[in-house]
Structure 1
Amino acid sequence: MTAFAPDSLVLNRKLPLWYQVSQSLRASILGRAPDASLRLPTEEQLAGHYGVSVLTMRQALKELEGEGLISRHRRRGTFIEPGARRGAPVRLLGSVDAIVAQQSGERTTILGHERTAVSGELLEHFPDTSELVTYRRLRHDSVSGEPTNWAENAVRTELAESIDLADLERFPMTKVLRDLVGVKISRITDTVEARLADPETAALLQVPLLSPILYYTGVTYDDEGRVVDVARIRYRGDRFSFTVTVDAH
């Protein structure tokens, strides 16, 4: 059994530190290796890893404990719950790390990928190119095996050349582009709306035709202001909820 190793995190001072730490640690827990230890490092070790105070670390751990992802035992330590791979409410707080965290922890099946012409709603995002590579993926709950959402990602062809399909089975597209391909992501614009399940979505998500779903669009920009990826994700309406927190400062 290997030791549990949390991912690194670049802190954004405009967002609550405890929230950023909890979301980064949450992503590490949900995306951990199958043979990873369930025992977490001590509060002091985790605080040193993330570069925050022990008080901030305790607040982050309290959040994860409230989600049922970890349990804390006096004198014994903090442990990951064995079933900590289930779905949880999706919360968008404006952090790329938060988005990565929310998309982690599910089993992913690649449905296919192909070069496609730029058309329809993608035209406004990619005015400087005529062709993209579209990836289609189906995500399942790691415990129940039920489908939770399916995603289409339209990515620039020059970036797609560096994408390994095996990585897309393990990580969200945002993480692959940023951490493995090397794209410097500046921002992601998210839109969520209610829709009805079309025949393809109903079949993939195993829900009745025309049943309510959540349709998410995420437009990812690099540091030059170019759109590098447009994600369109259909979530089962009975499995997810969205909470948006707006920082007024």
Structure 2
Amino acid sequence: MTSFAPDSIVLNRKLPLWYQVSQSLRASILGRAPRDPLRLPTEEQLAGHYGVSVLTMRQALKELEVEGLITRHRRRGTFIEPSARRGAPVRLLGSVDAIVAQQSGMTTELLDQGKAPVSGELAEFFPDVAEVATYHRLRSDETTGEPTNHARNYLRQELADRIDREDLIRWPMTKVLRDVLGVGISRITDTVEATLADPETARLLQVPLLSPILRYTGVIHGTDGQALDVAVIHYRGDRFSFTVTLDAH
């Protein structure tokens, strides 16, 4: 039987080797093609592939076994769980409706709300105000209850004064602004980057510290061009991917 072939990585000696190997192997498992074999190479082969000791490799595999991504059988080998797969991708298709639809199938908990001074990176978007309203929400899969992302929204106060708390639990901010408040939206600027889970994100999303995370920044602009809302969302890297579709015509 052919074994699954994991991707290669360059290890950082400042982080635990077993952790880096487990993260790389996790990404390979979750990103595998449907027809890829389920059997992993032996511990010795994997250790050689990553350039680590068998003991380190064993610790990395143990982590994946605890997560339910693999099963280990004496004399038979180590196998990927067929149910281990990446979650539904976040698709940025160029429409507000696509962004709103992406949040369907999730439950939302409003963790806190308040106010924050406009400083640092926010100053670029709100150069005309000193303070903005803030909302912090945690979204979870409606079926499994597993946390998928946590979002911080920074909103002009005059808009926040019109928002009902229950609407923020029921809908994404984009829908609240456009469909509930009737605010005109001219465009949304999206930025996606890879980062590592800080202590807060690791706790909220129930992932290991420094595990791969997708950081999404979305800026909603009104019809006058001003930024109305800035959303900073941290997605679990093992549950989401981003796809951008460009029309070539």
When normalised by structure 2's length, the TM-score is 0.65
Q: Which residue of 2 aligns with 1:28?
A: none
Q: Which is greater in Rg?
A: 2
Matched, 1:176 2:176: yes
1:206 is the counterpart of 2:206: yes
Q: Which residue of 1 aligns with 2:237?
A: 237
Which aligned pairs between 1:41-190 and structure 2 lie closer than 5 A? 88-190=88-190
Number of matched residues?
Answer: 164
AA aligned to 2:193 is: E
Secondary structure (helix, strand or coil) at the match of 1:169 reads helix
Distance in 1 separating the partners of 2:114 and 2:107: 22
Q: Let me know the Cα RMSD of the aligned residues.
A: 1.2
**AA of the residue aligned to 1:225:** G
Q: Which residue of 2 aligns with 1:5?
A: none
Separation in 1 of the partners of 2:197 and 2:243?
Answer: 22
**How many angstroms does 1:104 deviate by?**
2.4
Shift of 1:181: 1.1
Deviation, 1:120, is: 1.3
Give, in whole Å, the separation in 1 of the partners of 2:182 and 2:189.
20
Question: CA separation in 1, counterparts of 2:231 and 2:177?
Answer: 12
Aligned partners of 1:227 and 1:195: how far apart in 2?
Answer: 25
Deviations 1:68-105 (A, max 9, x none): xxxxxxxxxxxxxxxxxxx5211101101111111222
CA-CA distance at 1:191 after TM superposition: 0.6
**Alpha-carbon distance in structure 1 between the residues aligned to 2:128 and 2:175:** 24
Q: Which amino acid aligns with 1:173?
A: M
Give the letter for the 2:232 counterpart.
R
Code of the aligned partner of 2:182 = G
Deviations 1:26-63 (A, max 9, x none): xxxxxxxxxxxxxxxxxxxxxxxxxxxxxxxxxxxxxx
8 Å contact kept, 1:155–1:230: yes
SS at match of 1:129: coil
CA distance in 1, matches of 2:103, 2:189: 15
Alpha-carbon distance in structure 1 between the residues aligned to 2:128 and 2:221: 14
Q: Counterparts of 2:116 and 2:215 in 1: how far apart (Å)?
A: 21
**Letter of the structure 1 residue corresponding to residue 236 of structure 2:** R
SS of the aligned residue for 2:248 comes to coil
4+ runs deviating over 6 angstroms: none
Secondary structure at 2:124's aligned position in 1? Answer: coil
Deviations 1:111-164 (A, max 9, x none): 000011001111000000001001000001001101000000000000000111
Q: How much does 1:248 deviate? A: 2.4
State, as a whole percentage, how many aligned pairs show the same letter. 70
**TM-score, normalising length: structure 1:** 0.65
**Quick check: 1:217–1:233 contact (8 Å CA) kept in 2?**
yes
- Asked whether the 8 Å contact 1:104–1:172 carries over to 2, the reply is no
- Contact kept? 1:108, 1:169, Cα under 8 Å: yes
| Aligned residue identity for 2:128 | D
Q: Tell me, which stretches of 5 or more residues in structure 2 are unaligned?
A: 1-86
Distance 2:176 2:105 in 1: 15
